[in-house]
Amino acid sequence: MKTGRLEAFSDGVLAIIITIMVLELKVPEDGTFQALNHLIPKFISYLLSFIYVGIYWNNHHHLFQIVEKVNGKILWANLTLLFFLSLIPFSTAWMGENHFEQNTVAVYGINLFLCAVSFNIVQKAAMDSEGKDSLIAKAIKNYTKEMASTALYLIGIAISFFYPKISLILFFTVAIIWLIPDRRIEKQVKH
């Protein structure tokens, strides 16, 4: 099975996730700037999640550029990833609605963490399927970024019950780490 339709379907789901989040920015009934001010926490949440979904699309794109075939394992790992990503509009809105209250930031962090774990499982399944000499096995040899972001997620979740705003900063930090598309893969594509 080729990767074409899996990529198309994932693109569709990611495009919808990234766009329906804006529906949670409920339109205020009056036209004052104060009414807009109330939306600022929701807007910040939206911005952060938009960046995250953008990063996942990006990395997904990069990953499947060097994966050649899809098997059942990759397929279901990918659907698991899409499932946790599909919960992001919910956890984003809940966090924004409640002005970054502790519980909501914790749940948001857990959601991000589960997305990251799922992505790693997709990557692992792809590496197993492609074999040791494949492009992907050569590309992904160290996991510094993965380990750093896992650590930041876990610290962020733990801290959220005391200083939710510091957690947010940590989650923004993880996003920045991943903003740059995965050079490990780009190098392999060039070879």
- Binding interface with its own copies (CB under 8 A): 1, 5, 7-9, 11-20, 22-25, 27-33, 36, 47, 50, 54, 57-58, 61-62, 65, 72, 75-76, 79, 82-83, 86-87, 89-90, 93-94, 97-98, 101-104, 107, 179-181, 186, 189
Cα 32 from Cα 90, distance rounded (Å)? 27
- Minimum distance between the CB of residue 63 and its own copies, rounded to whole angstroms? 12
- Minimum distance between the CB of residue 64 and its own copies, rounded to whole angstroms? 9
Cα 3 from Cα 11, distance rounded (Å)? 12
Nearer Cβ to its own copies, position 19 or 173?
19
- Minimum distance between the CB of residue 143 and its own copies, rounded to whole angstroms? 21
- Minimum distance between the CB of residue 124 and its own copies, rounded to whole angstroms? 19
Phi first, then psi, for residue 151 (nearest 5°) are: -60, -45
Residues 6+ apart with CB under 8 A from 173: 152
Nearer Cβ to its own copies, position 99 or 151?
99
Which three-class secondary structure state does DSSP give residue 69? Answer: strand
Nearer Cβ to its own copies, position 151 or 179?
179
Residue 93 CA: distances (Å) to CA of 11, 97, 104: 22, 6, 9
